[in-house]
Amino acid sequence: MQLLDGKKISNDIKNEITVEVQKMKDRGEKVPHLAAVLVGNNGASLTYVGSKVRSCEQIGFESTLLHLEDTITEEELLVKIDELNQNDEIDGFIVQLPLPKHIDEQKILMAIDSSKDVDGFHPENFGKMAMDMESFIPATPYGILELIERYKIETSGKHTVVIGRSHIVGRPMSILLSRKGYPGDSTVTLTHSRTENIAEITRSADIIISALGVPNFLKGDMVKEGVVVIDVGITRVPDATAEKGYVITGDVDFEEVSKKASFITPVPGGVGPMTIAMLLKNTLLARERRMK
Ligand code: GUN
């Protein structure tokens, strides 16, 4: 069994980006600038956005955090989005999800200029991705593709089972791994909460990507010998003995499944760090595309 070390690979990618940023500086060019919009004080969102901003500093990007009150109206937020769209200093930006209930998430995502949509959540980017056109690929699926490539995992003709159909992970993942070429050419089954006999399906999988958000859902008897397992779950499970009062738990029963897997991601330290690295990569691409 080999661990898919997202921490190491994400550091490699950050180092590669740092080199590119230095080249931009040497040429006297403007460095990439990422902005993050955070509405309210959701604990997990604060952590994620904080680490996105810190990562920008690490690799030499400019960053801006727009932290807004959760009482902001949809109209006011749309004005802020438009300002970011118009601001020539900003190469890419993200609106951290989830948004408060009174704001229509789809309306906000639709308002983002697709050329600055480094999360790849705008339907124009999603559609282009599905049609093999140049786009921004959502960071988590993009990170999983990088892990697959850098560990040279065979995907052609393999049965890949994706668990979870979210717009952010499961749905785009299923499209990306069925595309022509590497890493793709997989026969993909997209499973979800309504899937019947899921264990029968996962047992026939060569590759399993689980983005369900149910701690320890995937058990040892649900996988075959030699399976590749990528765990996207990051549920906070209360634990009084833990420093923060919770532990981050994946969808996969690591203890059981790692005994049968050929490759497996740890949680934490697997997919999580890759997501941030690929957001930075998308921001670099946004800068480069704006210079064309
Ligand atoms: N919420 C959970 N994951 C993400 C992400 O990748 N981007 C944004 N904007 N919000 C999220």
Minimal-distance CA residue to ligand 1 atom 9: 96
Assigned domain for 183 exists? yes
Assigned domain for 122 exists? no
Listed as own residue / partner, the contacts of 57-61 with beta carbons closer than 8 Å and 24 or more positions apart are 58/14, 58/18, 59/14, 59/17, 59/18, 59/21, 59/280, 60/18, 60/21, 60/22, 60/25, 60/31, 61/21, 61/31, 61/32, 61/33, 61/34, 61/280, 61/283
Question: Among 79, 113, 147, which residue terminates a domain?
Answer: 113
- What's 174's domain CATH number? 3.40.50.720
Assigned domain for 121 exists? no
Query: How confident is the model over 85-100, as a mean pLDDT?
Result: 98
Q: Is 166 annotated as a binding residue?
A: yes
Percent of the chain with pLDDT over 90: 99
Per-residue confidence band for 90, with pLDDT thresholds at 50, 70 and 90: very high
Minimal-distance CA residue to ligand 1 atom 3: 97
Q: Do 106 and 166 belong to one domain?
A: no
Assigned domain for 187 exists? yes
Which of 52, 53, 168 has the most ligand 1 atoms within 8 A of CB, as the residue to mutate?
168
Q: Do 164 and 100 belong to one domain?
A: no
Active-site residue, 5 included: no
- What's 56's domain CATH number? 3.40.50.10860
Q: CB burial class (10 A; 0-12, 13-18, 19+) of residue 200? A: exposed
Query: How confident is the model over 9-19, as a mean pLDDT?
Result: 98
Query: How confident is the model over 213-225, as a mean pLDDT?
Result: 98
Q: Do 107 and 147 belong to one domain?
A: no
Query: What ipTM does this complex have?
Result: 0.93
Residue 56 CA to ligand 1 centre (angstroms): 16
Q: Do 177 and 70 belong to one domain?
A: no
Residue 97 CA to ligand 1 centre (angstroms): 5
Active-site residue, 116 included: no
Residue 49 CA to ligand 1 centre (angstroms): 9
Number of separate domains in the chain: 2
Assigned domain for 278 exists? no
Q: What is the pLDDT of residue 292?
A: 83
Ligand 1 atom closest to Cα of 94? 9
Length of the chain (residues): 292
Q: Do 189 and 257 belong to one domain?
A: yes
Residue 287 has pLDDT above 90, yes or no: yes
Q: How far is CA 41 from CA 199, 231, 243, in A?
A: 38, 27, 21
Residue 189 has pLDDT above 90, yes or no: yes
Q: Do 152 and 241 belong to one domain?
A: yes
Q: Do 151 and 94 belong to one domain?
A: no
For residue 50, the enclosing domain spans: 28-113
Residue 277 CA to ligand 1 centre (angstroms): 13
Q: Is 262 annotated as a binding residue?
A: no
Q: Is 120 annotated as a binding residue?
A: no
Q: Do 183 and 239 belong to one domain?
A: yes
- Between β-strands 62-68 and 33-39, what pairing exists: parallel, antiparallel or unpaired? parallel
Active-site residue, 132 included: no
Assigned domain for 2 exists? no
From 5, 14, 91, 96, the catalytic residue = 96
Residue 240 has pLDDT above 90, yes or no: yes
Q: Do 166 and 253 belong to one domain?
A: yes
Assigned domain for 284 exists? no
Minimal-distance CA residue to ligand 1 atom 8: 96
Q: Write out pLDDT tens, residues 128-179.
A: 999 999 999 999 999 999 999 999 999 999 999 999 999 999 999 999 999 9
Which of 34, 37, 94 has the most ligand 1 atoms within 8 A of CB, as the residue to mutate?
94
Residue 38 CA to ligand 1 centre (angstroms): 10
Q: Do 109 and 144 belong to one domain?
A: no
Q: Write out pLDDT tens, residues 50-65.
A: 999 999 999 999 999 9
Summary mean pLDDT of the chain:
97
* 96 CB near ligand 1 (under 6 Å): yes
Residue 85 has pLDDT above 90, yes or no: yes
Assigned domain for 129 exists? no
Q: Do 205 and 167 belong to one domain?
A: yes
Q: Do 268 and 225 belong to one domain?
A: yes
